[in-house]
Chain A
Amino acid sequence: MTMTDQPRTVLGTRLLRKEDPALLTGEAKFTGDIAVPGALHLAVLRSPYANATINSVDVSAALAHPGVRAAYSGADLVDLWAAPMPCAWPVTDDMKSPTHYPIAVSKAAYAGDGVACVIAETAAIAKDAIELIRVDYTRHEAVIGLEDALSDRVVVHDEIGTNRSYTWDLKIEEHEGDIDAAFAAAAHTTKERFVHQRLIPSAMEPRSVLAMPQPFGGDMTVYSATQIPHILKIFVAVVLGIPEQQLRVIAPSVGGGFGSKLDVYAEEFLCTALARKHGVPVRWTEERSEASMATIQGRAQIQDIELAADEAGRLTAIRVRLLADMGAYLQLVTPGVPLLGAFLYAGVYELPKAYDFSCTGVFTSMTPTDAYRGAGRPEATYAIERSMDSLAAQMGIDPLELRRRNFIPTASYPYEAFSGLTYDSGDHDAAATMASEMIDYAGLRARQAEQNVEGATKRLGIGVSTYFEMCGLAPSRVLASLNYGAGGWEAATVRVLPTNKVQVVTGTSPHGQGHETSWSMIAAEKLGVDPSDVDVLHSDTALAPYGLDTYGSRSLPVGGVAIANACDGVIEKARQIAAHQLEASADDLEFSDGVFRVAGSPDKEMPLAAVAWEAFTAHNLPDGMEPNLEHHTHYDPPNFSWPFGTHMCAVEVDTETGEIEVLKYVAIDDCGVQVNPLIVEGQVHGGVIQGLAQVLYEGAVYDGDGNLRTSTLAEYLVPAAPDVPPITTGHTVTPSPTNQLGVKGVGEAGTIGAAPAVMNAIVDALSGLGVHDITMPASPHTVWNAIQQAQGGSQ
């Protein structure tokens, strides 16, 4: 029996978060808050040049600076590295990846690449001292444009001789030639190019690391503002050659990630290596300008997408060519990001086996890219949803109507897609209908017809996007088929303590998602205890030794399900104990509200609290049973989960100034069963604004020399409260049939749905003026220019 069939008392309630009091009163400790007397402070000297040979590094003046303990060039540190920094996703066997050390040895490959470092008594002294280091560089031309990079006119890494890292293909045909035949026979075709600018993730907490040698035996504890303490532990062991059992990694309170802390970084290795070398704690906290340059950036893709459709607008083939900007090095999963999108270019639509995807990853002289909220899936969704609007415009039909003609029918689920993946469940018409009603789609269209008349300077636009999230990363065997370097399982332990309090140990690692609250709710629902009696242990590899951490909207559909499974294990053990004590058959015991009852004998019962005590004393357990009430389990999901939804957006564009006002935003998200709607809504709100911000505001700007011109929050426009609209949320609930909770996950849905909804609205507003597309971010200047160009005017 799955939980989705049962009456629920805790799941689905808007329980206030356990995390909040500590965060609201300043008691919560982020990495930089942890006071450690005697810790030395690391500062990294960063290359001002995007492509330069390092001829020599002179650290003598820094060494002589009062308060400096040590100063190193990259060459000085080479012996500390047992292996270079890792890329865990070699997407093809012939993928090229340059050697990447925590401090560059012979060449700086982007502006911000570390070229020397200092440890000193205070952060201020360390920062003063790196200014005293003299580096002799020979500058070379930087490579900024992706197509320029592909030409190999200037090669970023001489050691690999080309800027092409890999080309990864996914071609699916029932019969050879189906794709070409479909395009030849199509009643309608579209061909579009979309450019996803580089985005700077901008988690509010900058990265921070504290490495602390332990008093005995060479053990090391590493605190880091990371999403992935478990993965980090493995790579610290590998890169530094430290026996893994001597490492403990802790992610204390972590201030947002959005993928930017789903990585292993130079400073994590530097702090640990130098703490080990000098036998003292070493710490480092990033400045915001360092966060912009030396923490990964996101998106950075050029997409060429072609659709073929029949007379009615039903899709018959899709062809995608992708250029993906790796930046200067491959970070943890850099090359895999486009692959996560590769399966989503048909959106929520039926597509025959006629799909041709090819992606080439190229090196440039810029900050490495990697996963940023959605990681490949927002890009894919943007391309198909923008293209669907182009197709609708070409056919002269309503874009929502075109989508409805292509929706995968609800009755087809579980649905085997063109790619061979099976989509678990969906009801796209229901989500679209709810969104239409909530935003008054028909009313807006009527108003638009009245408003957008010849000469109108305030034009109304309505944007639609429908999406799949594809999350719950991931079935380990599917990851293996994609050459990913690890599995996708999650671990959980549930123990009922002698006094009937519950500990949940999870391998997920939250940084704002509220896992302590949601995981308590799952255990409370299962075990019949109050959520306040459950404590969740996480983000510390000594407390939770197994785990694959938090990213890809995986925590609930993988980690949360693991907890539910572990609770089942506890209940089964408890059932045996209760049966033994009640002298009944275990099969006759029913468990609800925390009490075992003998079916048909309502007076014979034993609460879980009593079972827990019996398990602890072990005075009278069934023969051969081990003491204590604990169950440990690992869960490898059988499938991805497939949250879906419809977002709609209404904007008004001032054609004289190019300014855009978002009038209304409606997000209908179906993430299956909701554990805590309060938290779900929060995830959607934040995700939507990040997607909207890509369309309206954000973009990393590099000049031709490879200098980042938007390295502070004064230049990079992370929107503030007045810059964004309120969000109206709604949801349908289509449980996932692949797990006992019926959950799907929600972390990235908002971001995936939002960008195309907003851009479709803007283009819809201006289509009467001949505007077909607008480059992101759609600043007033860019919008105004697009209007002038479409009208045949000069810029």
Chain B
Amino acid sequence: MEISVTVNGVTHTGDVEPRTLLVQYIREHVGLTGTNIGCDTSSCGACSVHLNGEAVKSCTVLAVQADGQQITTIEGLAADDGTLHPMQQAFMENHGLQCGYCTPGMVMAATSLLKENPNPSEHDVRIGLEGNLCRCTGYHNIVQSVLAAATK
């Protein structure tokens, strides 16, 4: 099927197999590999991207469902001059990442969380990131990162 998807402001048009997942489309067709795959049950959230501004797990969306939609991936978050997005900056300043594999999904989920709730409590942040797993940080510094970003 031919689909047309705008990823980080650039529109890509091409054929995909109907069974192609959005995450496969982003990684293999568009060639943006910052979005990671950590499981096959929509449990880990490593593949989180924004679909029309809202965080989704791109392994639970078919590429064809994104036809005509706007996608933002981790590569589209920093400013054109390379300045990190405040959430990326907050993760760096608060050591909110170690191996970095869950990080793109975690950052995308966190930015979406702050859009919905600009002044979250620690509890709100933990609940809001429930769908994103991290094995390195124990979440402590991820939560601190998101709380710090909320004050910027």
Contact = CB atoms under 8 A, between A and B. Distances in A.
Contact of B75 (A26, A254, A289, A686): A26
B138 A713 contact: no
Interface stretch (A144-152, A539-547, A719-727, A773-781): A719-727
B129 A720 contact: yes
B95 to A, nearest CB: 5
Contacts of B95: 16-17, 678-679, 681-682
B101 A21 contact: no
A645 B98 CA distance: 23
Interface in B9-37: 17, 19, 27, 31-37
A682 B88 contact: no
B10 to A, nearest CB: 15
Contact of B135 (A32, A203, A514, A750): A203
A255 B101 contact: yes
A685 interface: yes
Contacts of B39: 288, 712-713
Interface in A1-30: 16-17, 19-21, 23-30
A691 to B, nearest CB: 10
B125 interface: yes
A406 B142 CA distance: 38
B133 A256 contact: no
Interface string B109-141: 000000000000011011101111111111111
Interface residues on chain A, size class = 35 or more
B64 interface: no
B98 A513 contact: yes
Interface string A668-687: 00000000001101100111
B53 interface: no
A124 B36 CA distance: 17
A33 B74 CA distance: 14
B128 to A, nearest CB: 8
A689 interface: yes
A33 B33 contact: yes
B69 interface: no
B101 A686 contact: no
A35 B31 CA distance: 8
A682 B102 CA distance: 15
Interface string B68-104: 0000011101100000100010011101011111111
Nearest to A722: B126
B130 A720 contact: yes
Interface in A721-735: 721-722, 724, 726-727
A110 interface: no
B65 interface: no
Interface in A199-244: 202-206
A512 B91 contact: no
A682 B137 contact: yes
B40 interface: yes
B151 interface: no
B140 A30 contact: no
Given A27-B34, A289-B40, A256 B103 contact: no
A576 interface: no
Interface residues of B, number: 57
A204 B75 contact: no
Contacts of A254: 99
B79 to A, nearest CB: 11
Interface in A680-712: 681-682, 685-690, 712
A19 B91 CA distance: 12
Interface string A500-537: 00000000000111100000000000000000000000
Contacts of A685: 137-141
A721 B77 contact: no
Contacts of B74: 24-26
Given A20-B92, A205-B101, A712-B43, A718 B130 contact: no
Nearest to B92: A20
B97 A721 contact: no
A720 B38 contact: no
A25 B34 contact: yes
A204 B139 contact: no
A449 interface: no
A713 B137 contact: no
Contacts of B123: 722
A21 B78 CA distance: 10
A551 to B, nearest CB: 15
Q: Which interface residue of B27, B91, B136 has the most chain A CB atoms within 10 A?
A: B136
Contacts of B143: 721, 726
A253 interface: yes
Given A33-B33, A712-B41, A713-B44, A23 B136 contact: no
Nearest to B43: A713
Contact of B142 (A35, A688, A690, A721): A721
A258 interface: yes
B126 A689 contact: no
B138 A727 contact: yes
Contact of A21 (B27, B75, B84, B107): B84
Given A20-B92, A287-B40, A202 B100 contact: no
Contact of B122 (A16, A205, A687, A726): A726
A23 B100 contact: yes
A550 to B, nearest CB: 12
Nearest to B138: A689
A17 B141 CA distance: 14
B101 A204 contact: yes
B104 A204 contact: no
A718 B44 CA distance: 9
B56 to A, nearest CB: 17
Interface string A153-192: 0000000000000000000000000000000000000000
B55 interface: no
B49 to A, nearest CB: 11
A16 B126 contact: no
Nearest 8 A-B pairs (CB), nearest first? A26-B34, A255-B101, A23-B100, A512-B99, A689-B138, A713-B43, A33-B33, A512-B98
13 contacts: A17-B95, A23-B97, A23-B100, A253-B99, A255-B36, A679-B95, A686-B137, A712-B41, A713-B38, A713-B41, A720-B129, A720-B132, A721-B129
Interface of B: 17, 19, 27, 31-41, 43-44, 46, 73-75, 77-78, 84, 88, 91-93, 95, 97-104, 107, 122-123, 125-127, 129-143
